[in-house]
Amino acid sequence: MSSVGLNGTVVQSGSRIFVSGSSSGIDTNALIDAAVQQRLREADLIDIRIDENLLRSQGYDQLQALGGSVQSSLDALRRSYGFSGSGSSVYEQKTGTLSSNTATDPTSLLNVSIDETAASGTHTIVVREKAREHIITSDPIADPTAALGQNGSFRLRLPGQAQININVTGTDNLNDIAAKINAVTADTGVGAAVVKVNETNYKLVLTGQETGVNIRREGISGDNVLQAIGVLDGANAYKNTAQTSEKARLTYNGIDIARDDNSFDDLITGVNLDVLNADVGTTITLNIGQDNAGIKSAILDFVDSYNALRDFVLQNQVVNSDGTVPEDVLLANDNLLEQVDNQLQSLVGLNFNTGAQETLAEIGIEFDANNRLTVDELVLDTAIIDDPDVVRNIFQTQYSDDNAEFEILSNTSTQVSLNFALDITTDGTNITNVSVGGDNTLFTFSGGTIKGAAGTIYEGISFAYVGTASTTVNIAFDQGFADLASNTLEGLVNTVDGLIQQEKLAIESTNENLQSRADRVRERAEAYRLSLIERYARFESQLNQANGLLNQIRAILGTNDDDN
């Protein structure tokens, strides 16, 4: 802070106070600030570099996320690997369509779920009976809260369930009996409810918790409580049956089938049928086939994510008419941005070893004038329906080997094609050597796992060998677009060690160093400020003392500033 007094300006810097200014008539504060600002200019320039780096890092965040979205969109289209590597790609997925020979909506009769293990084919189904629970009731009772005056016990259960006595005392009413039955429902499989059937009457309703089986009554002793309330007749048979238990019944491909419940999950492999309603006059036709809509959707998802990335690239290539770069351009002339864009574009144009159709363009996927992807959906639909294997082989890596005890485990390779003979030597139990053409430096091995060595053309692929004998495995490996593009992106957008992540970490490290430099500059500038304040304070103090002495001399001589 500072304040003006008779003998100068009081300046406080931290805990130190100095006098400056008035004696000399010089604005020492302005001189000090100007000198310090000159020293701080370097820190200000460093701050600008830090801000520019932060903006570039934000651009890399967006590039990494968009590239990651493209990679994720390819997951469904690429090959699954490993001994059990099936079912995760869209090509293995199955779908079903239902139709009927009547106006009845087949989905009102049957619910169908299908997984990838289902075989393509056509099935006919007639729903003859829906499975139902056994429901019995008591006679009407006027007051469910009135004591029944019964002392006895009984057991109610479904087949295979626990035998538990329901003990009734003379003070129990209808509600009490229902509560005692429900207390053991989890064990017996029988539930109870008191239902008001009209303004003057209530009934005890007993319901089996499973379909297709009857409620058993057992262990009646003491007063026959169930008979007293009208659940049983004089012969101990059920007196009031609201619903008989029924099994679910289908006619499947002409064969009558029955199950205790409404779920038929063991009739067709990979298919679960749930009966909703019965209609013996309606024949349902179930057609199971490849999920063509799912394949198309996965391809369109890739196209959308690719175009989002391409739009980001185009946005960062914009230059104003005066040659300046717009504020929203974060990665102008950036090498990594160009690398991601160029590598993906080059893959889109590749030929893939599929047969009649070998490129994305031949199934309707092409570049427009801005190198965004466009889709001719008619061409794509025709390819998916008429030749689905071609579509699959364009996107998915084709792999083969000639040994049943050998399998590819993983593929992160960026090689387009590999064909080689892998020589495996064992001691009868364990692998002792792996080579290609006599070179044993191309693969590493541990246990039964064989991996391509880093820096070789085999890097990124791994295999498993579960045999014990020495052998030669002939391997053919032709990458599909989805595998190749995903593997290429992995090296760029991986959030741990991809090139973009490495650049972000480098920017972070650079900014930390720059911030340290800026802090040091500011510390030195502040120290310089203190030294200038002290220097000017001494100058003003000395000048003030000299002026005081001069004034004393003038007073003694009787002169002033106006005397000659």
Distance CA 134, CA 502 (A): 68
pLDDT on residue 7? 43
Residues 530-556: pLDDT tens digits? 888 778 777 767 777 777 777 778 778
Token code pair at residue 342: 């160029």
Average pLDDT over all residues of the chain: 90
Relative orientation angle of helices 28-74 and 292-315, to the nearest 10 degrees = 160
Segment 50-98, tens digit of pLDDT:
999 999 999 999 999 999 999 999 999 998 887 555 556 898 889 999 9
Q: How confident is the model at residue 318 (pLDDT cuts 50, 70, 90)?
A: very high
Among 236-245, 454-463, 523-532, the range scoring the smallest mean pLDDT is 523-532
pLDDT of residue 352: 80
Lowest mean pLDDT, pick from 183-187, 387-391, 442-446: 387-391
* pLDDT (0 to 100) of residue 8: 47
Mean pLDDT is lowest, of 154-158, 398-402, 511-515, 529-533, for 529-533
pLDDT number for residue 35: 82
Q: Report pLDDT digits (tens) over 488-506.
A: 999 999 999 999 999 999 9
Distance CA 229, CA 240 (A): 11
CA distances from 276 to 96, 110, 299 (A): 17, 5, 35
| Mean pLDDT, rounded, for 380-407 | 93
| Residues above pLDDT 90, as percent of the chain | 77
Which pLDDT score is estimated for 83?
Answer: 59
Average pLDDT over residues 351-358: 68
pLDDT recorded at residue 3? 43
Q: Of 262, 265, 136, whose CA–CA distance to 195 is shortest?
A: 136
Crossing angle of helices 481-493 and 499-557, in 10° steps, is 20
pLDDT for 17 equals 46
Strands (DSSP E) contained in 277-356 are: 284-290
Helix (H) or strand (E) holding 516: helix 499-557
Alpha carbons 185 and 161: distance in angstroms, whole number: 10
Find the mean pLDDT for residues 299-322.
95
* Residue 228 Cα distances to 147, 172, 238, 446, angstroms: 12, 13, 12, 77
- How many Cβ atoms from other residues are within 10 Å of residue 306's Cβ? 24
CA distance 84 to 409: 10
pLDDT value for 197: 96
Judged against a pLDDT cut of 70, whether residue 287 lies above it is answered with yes
- All structural domains of the chain, each given as residue ranges with its CATH number in brackets, are 94-131+248-290 (no CATH), 133-243 (3.30.70), 405-477 (no CATH)
- 8 A C-beta contact, residue 408 and residue 80: no
pTM of the model: 0.74
213 pLDDT above the threshold of 90: yes
Contacts of 71 (CB under 8 A, 6+ apart): 485, 486, 489, 490, 493
Backbone angles phi, psi at 165, to 5 degrees: -70, 135
pLDDT at 508: 95
pLDDT at 29: 79
What mean pLDDT do residues 123-145 have? 97
pLDDT band (50, 70, 90) for residue 427? very high
Asked if the model's pLDDT at residue 23 lies above 80, the reply is no
Query: Which residues are CB-neighbours of 13 under 8 A, at least 6 positions away?
Result: 529, 530, 533
pLDDT above 60: residue 12: no
Q: What is the pLDDT of residue 89?
A: 80
For residue 1, how far is the Cα from the chain centroid? Answer: 57
